[in-house]
Amino acid sequence: MSGEVVLYDYWRSSAAYRVRIVLNLKGVAYRAIPVDLVKGEQAAADYVGLNHQGLVPTLLIDGHTLTQSLAIIDYLDVRYENPPMVSPDPAVRSRILAQALVIAADIHPINNLRVLNYLRSELGADQDAVTRWYHHWIIEGLRALEIDAPESGLMGGDLPNLADVCLVPQMANARRFAVPLEGFPKLVAIDERLRTLPAFAAAAPEAVAPPS
């Protein structure tokens, strides 16, 4: 690999958390540059020049500027084969992608910071309404994943896959916003197992949070 790998990151971003996990799983050394979403640093002209949506993460690698967490992970999965995030079997690959997209496409986009801020500032939602919104969409998605989750092991079986990578950040968000998780015992157990793995632990928000 030529050149330094640079991740534009925010410690509490679910999407950035996914990429940190995969970089760690694949043993790719990188330098993190924090982009404080609460302070609005993602809207700075120099950053928007890198990421035209003004979102995190952005990954600089091999002379490329990559955006969107699942697209970044796909690049990393091709560039660094092991451990694979999806199966080469088309049907299994489709199932893994479907599970990951329940989180990355259905839960997370309508519960991220800019959506919650819009609910408050533009639609006049109070904190109770915002919390109910947040809980509703997480629970809707987790219900489907709980049915698909295995009785033992990880979403990926013995080794974590893309669905596992997406699950852990979403479960962290659920705990942060006090979403009741009693109805999802398989997902809770998988999340607990995953968070003991070094690659996941090193990517956790509390492990990369800026000094207070």
The pair phi, psi for residue 209, each rounded to 5°, is: -60, 145
User: Quick one: 101 and 192 in the same domain?
Assistant: yes
User: Quick one: 116 and 181 in the same domain?
Assistant: yes
Please state the domain count of the chain.
2
**CB within 8 Å of 128: residues ≥ 6 apart:** none
Instruction: Give the residues across from 32 on adjacent strands.
Output: 7
Tell me if 75 sits within 8 A of 61, measured CB to CB.
yes
Q: What is the pLDDT of residues 4-40, one digit of tens each?
A: 999 999 999 999 999 999 999 999 999 999 999 999 9
Q: What is the pLDDT of residues 128-155, one digit of tens each?
A: 998 999 999 999 999 999 999 999 999 9
Q: Which residue has the tokens 């919650």?
A: 116
Alpha-carbon gap, residue 13 to 128, rounded angstroms: 22
- Here the CATH number for the domain that contains residue 182 is 1.20.1050.10
Reported confidence tier of residue 2, pLDDT bands at 50, 70, 90: low
Q: Please report the pLDDT score of residue 49 as a whole number.
A: 96
Q: Please report the pLDDT score of residue 3 as a whole number.
A: 87
User: Quick one: 79 and 97 in the same domain?
Assistant: no
Full domain range(s) for residue 161: 90-197
Q: pTM value?
A: 0.93
Tell me if 164 sits within 8 A of 138, measured CB to CB.
no
Question: In this structure, is residue 212 part of a structural domain?
Answer: no
Question: In this structure, is residue 165 part of a structural domain?
Answer: yes
Instruction: Give the residues across from 33 on adjacent strands.
Output: 8
